[in-house]
Amino acid sequence: MNKRIIIAGGGFFGMYLAEQLSLLGHDVSLYEKEQNFMSRASYNNQARVHNGYHYPRSILTALRSRLSFPRFVEEFRDCVSSDFDKYYLISELLGKVSASQFRLFCERIGADCDYAPARIEKLVNPQLINACFTVKEFAFDSFKLRDIMLQRLDAAGVRYHCGYSVDKVESTGAGIIAHISKLESGLTESYYADHVFNCTYANLNYLLDQSEIELIPLKHEMTEMCLVDVPDELKSTGFTIMCGPFFSVMPFPSVGLHSFSHVRYTPHYEWHDKPLEKYHNSYSKFDEDIKVSAWQYMLKDAARYMPVLNECRYERSLWEVKTLLPRSETDDSRPILFRPNHGIKGFHCIMGGKIDNVYDAVEAIKNINLI
C-alpha cells in the first residue's frame, strides 16, 4: 500500500531517496533547511567519484566502490568529468602502503593501475615518492548533479521545499507527526507521515536530540577544502598520495578549479556525538567557528612531494562538517549508516560516507518493505 513519506534533508541522499520512493507510488515530501538543495556536504567535498583506489585499508569499501562507480558514471553521465588523467603516488616513508602492496591491492579489486609516464615522474620528488601510477578515477559536478536531481524530482512528482527545518518527530501510534518550521517566518506546522527519513548528515542527531531519541554515535570534523588554480601543466590532471598524512589535488568541475585537501590539515578539529551525553549541534558549531585557512601549511607540505605545486594560486576554501561513523577512524572504511525504526516505528536514519553510497542506501531501505 502506498505511504505518506517525509524526508528531512535535501542533500544528494535525501533527493535520490525521495525520487526512488516516489517512483514506487508513495506520496513523498522533501524538506531542506537551506535556501538551495545540495548546498552542504553534497557540494562542499572533493567531488571524487570513488573507484576503489582510495581504500587499500578497507577492501569491502573498495569493492563496493568498484561496483557503484560504473553505475554512477552511467546514471549521471552528464555530471561526471572524465577528461583528466588521475595519478596515485606512493610514498613509503610515512605511508601505510608500499608500491607493491598498492599494485597487488588494485589487482585484487580488479582496478586499472599502470606505471605513470616519465613526464609525470619528473614532477615528483624521487626521494619522497616511490612510485607513480595512472588510475581511472573521475570527478563530479555537483551543480549539474543538483539540477538533474531537481528535474528528476519534478518528473517523479515529489513535493519539495527549501527553507524548512524538520525539528521534531513524535509517534502517534499509527504513524508519525513531524514538526516542521519555516525558517523565514519562524512558523511551525505539523504533518502526519507513515514514514520519516532523516537524511540530514552532519545534523542527523539534531532531530534525535529534539525528539528525545537516543543519539547515534558519530564523529564530526570541521574541514577545509581549498580551491586553487593549478599551473597549466597540471590543469587536466589530478594527484593523490597514498596512504597516510598526504594530500589530494584534483579537478573540481563545478567551478573549474582544483580542490586541494590534506589529510593532516583539512580536518581542523573533531568532536563526537555520543548516546546519553550532551548534544552539540554541528551546524551551530559550524556557524560559530572562526575559519582560519590552513592553506599555507597544506602547500608547504605538498610541495615537498611535488615542487610544481608551489605555482598553485589559492582562490578560496570550502568549509564543511564532515561526519563519519566512529569505526571509520580505525580502518578508513565508508559503510552507510542505516537505523530503521530508530526510537519510533517508521522513523529511519540514513547516512552515507560518500556520494556513490546512495546505491547501498537504496538497497538498505528494501528491508523496510517500501521498495
Ligand X SMILES: Cc1cc2nc3c(=O)[nH]c(=O)nc-3n(C[C@H](O)[C@H](O)[C@H](O)COP(=O)(O)OP(=O)(O)OC[C@H]3O[C@@H](n4cnc5c(N)ncnc54)[C@H](O)[C@@H]3O)c2cc1C
The residue ranges that bind ligand X (CB under 6 A) are 8-14, 31-34, 38-42, 44-48, 50, 165-166, 199-201, 203, 206-207, 223, 225, 320, 322, 351-356
**Grid cell of 341 as nine digits:** 525504526
Residue closer to ligand X (CB basis): 11 or 175? 11
Residue closer to ligand X (CB basis): 41 or 79? 41
Residue closer to ligand X (CB basis): 85 or 221? 221
Q: How far apart are the first and last CA of the chain?
A: 11
Q: Which strand ranges, in their side-by-side order, compose the sheet holding 347-351? A: 159-162, 27-32, 4-8, 195-198, 347-351, 337-339
Residue closer to ligand X (CB basis): 56 or 353? 353
Q: How far apart are CA 137 and CA 47, in angstroms?
A: 11
Burial of residue 150, with CB atoms counted within 10 A of its CB: 0-12 exposed, 13-18 middle, 19 or more buried: middle
Residue closer to ligand X (CB basis): 99 or 342? 342
Q: How far apart are CA 363 and CA 298, in angstroms?
A: 38
Q: How far apart are CA 251 and CA 296, in angstroms?
A: 20
- For 130-197, give the DSSP string: -EEEEE--EEE-HHHHHHHHHHHHHHHT-EEEESEEEEEEEE-SSSEEEEEEETTT--EEEEEESEEE
CB of 122 to ligand X, least distance (A): 27
CB of 147 to ligand X, least distance (A): 15
CB of 355 to ligand X, least distance (A): 3
Residue closer to ligand X (CB basis): 73 or 355? 355
Residue closer to ligand X (CB basis): 92 or 191? 191
Q: Which residue is nearest to ligand X (CB)?
A: 11
CB of 65 to ligand X, least distance (A): 9
CB of 48 to ligand X, least distance (A): 3
Do 154 and 94 form a contact (C-beta atoms < 8 A)? no
CB of 125 to ligand X, least distance (A): 25
Residue closer to ligand X (CB basis): 9 or 335? 9
CB of 6 to ligand X, least distance (A): 10
Give the residue among 151, 148, 70, 64 at the shortest CA–CA distance from 364.
Answer: 64
Give the residue among 323, 104, 349, 1 at the shortest CA–CA distance from 209.
Answer: 349
CB of 326 to ligand X, least distance (A): 16
Q: How far apart are CA 80 and CA 144, in angstroms?
A: 9
Q: Which residues contact 281 (CB under 8 A, 6 or more apart)?
A: 203, 206, 209
CB of 8 to ligand X, least distance (A): 4
Q: How far apart are CA 117 and CA 133, in angstroms?
A: 9
Residue closer to ligand X (CB basis): 251 or 353? 353
